[in-house]
Structure 1
Amino acid sequence: MKFRNSHSWHSNADERGFLRHSTPLLIAWIVISLLILAIGWTSLEKNLIHQKETAETAASRHAELLADAYAERLYRSLQAIDQITLYVKHGWEKAGTSFHLESITESGNIAASAGFYVSIVDRYGFLLSSTIINPLPANAVNQAYFSQQERSRTDFLYIGYPVQGIFTNQTVVHFSRKLMTEDGTFNGVVLVAVEPSFFITQFDEGVINSNRLLTILDTDRSVHIARIGERIFDSTQQPVSNLLPISGTKGQKILPGEPWFSDKRSRYVAWHTTEGYGMIALAGIDQEEVLAPYQVQRHRSYLYAGIASALLIAFSLFGTLAFARLRWRKHQLDAMQETYRAATEGGQEGFYIARPVENSNGDIVDFKIIDCNERGATILRHRRDELIGKTIRTVYHGEAAKGTMHLLRHALTTRHFSGEIEARIGDPSGLSWLYVTISKPDGDLAVTLRDISDIKKHVSELERRSNEDTLTGLPNRLWINNYLPGALESAQHSEQMLALLFIDLDGFKSVNDTMGHEAGDELLRNAGHRLKDAIRPHDYVVRIGGDEFVVIVEDMAHKIDAAHVADRILKSFQEAFRLSKGMHSVGTSIGISVFPDDGQDADTLLKNADMAMYAVKTSGKRNYQFFDAHFAEAVQSKHQCEMELQYALEHDQLIMYYQPRVDMTSGEISSMEALVRWAHPTRGVVDPAAFIPVAEETGLIIQLGEQVIDKVCAQLAFWAQTGQKLVPISINVSPKQFQEIDVADTLALALSRYRVPASLIELELTESTMMENRPAMAEALHKLQAMGVTLLVDDFGTGYSSLSQLQELDFDVLKVDKAFTARLEKSPEGKIFFSAIITMAHSLGMRVVAEGVETLEQIKSLKELHCDEVQGYFISKPLAPSERQQGTYETAAEFGIGS
């Protein structure tokens, strides 16, 4: 009994002594626990704040991209509407009441679609012409789009708010431009009425969420149109305040729901002002939707942190009790490990503790797993009791064992590792990707494993979709933009050539027009398959848009390699496509650019391949051609000429010269030919041969021809003011003018404007003009002759006209091409042929003019042949106009002409 008492006393004493010596350790343990809690919660709060900031930054950036994209779409819509108002204004002011919107809509000049109406309102507010079917009877005098234009002294595009249209009884946005009379007074308005949905439903990028916002604002921040999710608000109920706190042409901010939005939902908004029109496109992304994943994560993190904190406190209590009860350190450590393992069993992360295994030399040859949780054992395809005690080399095999050993040795040295690991062959987890965290708190390594295979698959799928054309499954433009720079760098290092084949399908448009877009899509898919079959196995086919494809040919030793691929592509398209709606044949036009000769970067190579394809298109299609720098320069030069000519037409740089025709009998000036010149600001006076072909090809000849007619009539009116006797002026008319406009109406307007009689105007037409659309041409010419206009056949002998055509079209004057005049003195046949022309013309009642007369001998010969008139440098070069018509009353006796 005494022994027991003595033993108990010693035990209590030891306990008191242990407690006395352990108190600092106990306090340190408590302090460390509190520090861990503080650090953990601080890190958690910082991480949550970072996650929130990241989500908000991404939302703001997304809103900015939406606003930029919608501003661009809005600008294009406003520009299209503006062009329509200008087109109708110009047509109405030029043609007057003969300009009908209904016929123009049928001809395709103005798009007629649901919710899009074009009208002309006269000066009294009544509807004159419209694309509206069965418009309501109403008067627009009191409408803002009419009254503002009536009061305005300038020509501007009026943009209204959504209101109920008086002609359609539908909610529309009004656009208008004023119409002017010739004396500059108000003559009504051109009105374009567009349903609000036209501006807001065409843009669906990112707007499918129920609370995302798209809004169109005026410069004063007043709301025109608004859309939240799929709902479009009308003018009587707007979800956005007219006083949004935004400024500048573009920007972004967070706006609280109160007081800015009627639904009281806060949003990340961005705005962008459209160029030229001042309209503001504003996009808003709902804050609650953006932060929903964050709130879920925040709640989950607080829950896990609370559990972890409770566990840590529990660890501290266990440690305190252990110290209080004099527990051994190993028991404390085992209890803590067991508690941590129990706390993490319900999570998605697995862990194991790896202890280094050294050989006799102190080298680490393996790692032994001394502890793990159930999730960690499951990931490694073991039960927990089986895994504990195994080494890494017995768990992993082959390359997986080597890689894991290397990773653990590295973490043992650096004390930490975290990152994504792709599973290797022999990895027992069988997973694709793991996120591994390794730390070294003491001599052992704590390894945490998390399966991220699904996340990686999702990211990979997103990347694949963004780089893949949805219709054909081929790589798209984004893919080629990302791939080409690296491919070019690789080709440069390996000193190999790389080629781009720019492919356009010939005849694809007719498939869409005749069979529909579904057949067109089917053809594009089949075309993609044929292209893949035609190229080499290691080459790529890319669809960059529409019916355009690009083939990347790598590892080339010679340019002929690209030509061989192009040949195979051409042959593969020789067979017609069997579509669900029938057979259809298309070809390919292929332009080829080669690195490094044709460009050093992706943009240049693509542009030059496109240019080479254009060269094939212009030379007959269904072929291939390498990039030609000379052709590219010629195209660029032609494009430059076109832009400068357009500028010249808009800024009145064209001037008129006049070359007289002389009557062979009287020796007097019988007429003058109007010849256009370009007064170029840097090149001086430019001859028409340098710009008329470009005008013909681009269609600018219509505007040019109208200006020539206007300038000639204005010049005649000026000369008439002096009271002198006038002679007619002949004007050259292009075939395109007869094809695309009513020349008689254009001429009649100019004659009326300047009060010039039609007898003073002659029109010169080439033989090719007479050959085209003969019934319509005959009708147009008869209309001109009925006005009193004289008609001349210009450059006769260079075309394919016949005597029957001349007789049928009833021309007044025949101008013989200068090539026949030049042969008069070179051979007897020249005179015989010219004599035959004169005899033929006289028999048809036509006068004959010899062009290109340059010598006195030619004058004498023509007089002998009874030619009626002559024109050429021997008589006079083309001259700029003066105060009087040149040589109107002069005789030509000095030329050997006259009685």
Structure 2
Amino acid sequence: MNWLKQLNPGNSLRAQISFASGALALVLSLVLSFLAAENSKQQIEKREGEAFASRARNALDVMDRGMFERSREIRNAATLDDIRNPHVPIERKRNILERLQHNFNAYAWIGICNTQGKGIVGTGKYLEGKDLSKRPWCTKGREGDYFGDVHDALLLAKLLPNPSGQTFYLVDVAAPVIDAEGVLQGVLCGHIYWNWAEEALDSTRTPGKDILLVSRDGLVLSGPEQPRSELSSLAPLTMQAIRQGGNDSGYLLEKWSNGKTYLVGYAKSSGYRDYPGLGWASLVRQDVSQAFAPAHQLRQRILMMGVALGLLFAWLGWLLAEHIARPIVRISRAANKVATGDLAYDVPEQQGGDEVAQLSRAIHAMVSNLTREIRQRRKAEESMRLSAAVFANNTEAIMITDADHNIVMINRAFTEINGYTEAEVLGKNPRLLASGKQGKEFYRDFYAALHNKDAWRGEIWNKRKNGEIFPEWVTVSVIRDQQAAITHYIAIYMDITERKKEEERIQYLANYDVLTGLPNRYLLNDRLEQGLSLAQRHQTKVAVMFIDLDHFKNINDSLGHDVGDALLKMVSQRLKGCLRRSDTIARQGGDEFVALLGDLNSEDEVTFVCEKMLHSLREEFEVAEYHLSVGTSIGVSIYPDDGETSVQLLRNADLAMYRAKDAGRNRFEYYKPEMNTKALQRLHLENALRSAIAENQLMVYCQPKVNVNSGAVVGLEALLRWKHPQLGFVSPAEFIPVAEESGLINEIGDWVLRQTALQQRLWQSHGYAIVPIAVNLSARQCGQKDLVEKIQTIVRDTGLPPQFIEFELTESMLMDMGVNCLELMNKLSSAGFSLALDDFGTGYSSLSRLKLLPVKTLKIDQSFVRDIATDENDEIIVNATAVLAHAMEMKVVAEGVETQQQLEFIRDLQCEEYQGYLFSRPVPPDEAEQFLRQD
């Protein structure tokens, strides 16, 4: 029973020591576990919170830089000549925009709207012809660069490939398109898939953490929460911190609406360079159960350690039974751990007022101070190593001087740029770099600004060790001590030699043509304005000559652009040789040149120059192995007789040049007022025609094709009609050539084909037995590379079988297109469409070519049918044509049959079908139903 007494603390000092040691260890472990866990939580909260905020800020920086790059691409594209020139074909502009979209596949669409808000060109031809006037980018983009916030894309979602059918979101960047005269032409916009921005928020880069993007209005744009939900309802404290934080970032703890408490880091977008940002905010959050898991693990480990230490101390106390030795041994062991470098070990304190307790507290304080100082020293050393690495590896030259302007430190880039080694410059004054280009006044202002503002930034010309003088961009800062006394100067240099050269090249490219070296249109305009000012002051005349090479396109198409470019260089030199040194010859673009003759007293001087140019260009050019001749058409306008502004003079000279081409080419013409009148009439007709397309003034009439023997309607021909609100019906002979020249014929042709196919389907749905309808194709339409695919798409979309559409091509068109026409006709025939040769006999067709064409129908022109009963020659021609067609297994259709006598003649000639007023004039579709029979 003696050992039981020894276990009783009231009877045994050893038991008291043992139990006291064990209890003390357990209490200390509980306190330490709590304090360590709380301290760990605070450290984790601060460290992870700052890391989350930094991650959020980095994600926003990536998106801001991306938006800046997209904006710069759109702005650069808006300044391209081919984009801002209203005369450049739409197809050319579309090719440029599609290449831009191809370079950055995050673009959903890139396009241009005009000043009326109508889409004029876009990638994939989407939104072309659409009313975009209510789009913010189309209205606000006219005033300057535009950045649009995230929005849905209901229209583009239907037009663009979208297998899922879900609504997707876009962000916009836009810039105004201003032509060379400073006139706003429209707005260039790029729609960017929102998926691009979501890549910057990819949570897989930070596993276990959620990343959210919030709009300026507090809507969740991306992340694990419901899209478009309000952050103020999910996490009101976080939303309040974002709104009150300005552009700062930060972090906090908050319980969200889903019941979970998160550690949240946030940051707000501050833009990038001239991109102001859209006010977005980014959040990075993590469930505190995961974020503070290390703290809970630490508490458990400390508690387990406390239990183990309590048992250990109790066992040692029981064995040693030494009241003084017990804490001394414990302190000794703790001191040994600290001595071996274990700074994470926390020395427990001994309670009491004796020497052992004082020693314990002193050691505890010493270890804490020592640990803190070592950690601070390590942090400072790491910071110094980082600063030294940044200083040494910076690509910009860095030079540090003392207060007396003696160089005390340089980096490696300084030696690479200036050529001086560290040993050659240390202790010397920076004036050894002076080039002598800046005088005393410059340096006086330099030091005055430096001492007043403690910083200076600007351009300086310095001299390298080898004597080369070069430009540098320098930033100088003043370092002061706590008493505001100057201790050091820090100068950062950046060599801008290449930038200077690039600026000079840009200046050259902005004013001169790259191919010929002649002034371009911008420099021409500047010199023309100067010439007009001098002419006005000295009461002299100025001549503007618009020079265009005749049929130059044939040389490019047949011999290649390299030969064409070489020829343009030679032509420019000959034209330049025909002028005085005071005159200007500029390349306007392509094969167009403009000459400016100043200080003139009479038109005779201009006539002499024009004749000299025509004579000079008549001589052959030797380009490689070719001997080439070119003609030229020249138009002349005179100041002040033909205009008082540069715009008027250039426009009138251009009109005179076209008059020279119409008059036979290879000649010159002076401007006359009636030229402008004719051009205005054509322009008004073209503008009215554009309005006619938009306002549905165009109509499709139908004229029957009748079987000669049975009198039954076996086909129809679609004929375009235009009813103007004021002018009434406009003759196709007037507006079709305008549509051809302006390029509107492509859009009109697509419309006619679509209306014709839809009308066929409408008749079919009403129970009529439909017959093939013939649609005319123009040469301009046949020049489209994707014509066959476009035709197939239109007909397929209407659901009409291709055998109910017949295409008519004129004989003259076949001659102009040559081999390309044969390829086009074979494709149309293979697609199931019938083909007819219209106006046969008027174009001097080659019979050898005719037999190669997949044509099933030959239409005899009405000029031969009109006098068939009275003119023996016409009868012979029609008869020969019918025999030829039948021999080639073609059907013959006679056009313009107006009398019964004409009908009898073509019946005797065994023509199968006819058209003409004898049976019916062209009629609207609702009247044409009478020619169709009910199924």
What TM-score results when the alignment is normalised by the length of structure 1? 0.47
What TM-score results when the alignment is normalised by the length of structure 2? 0.46
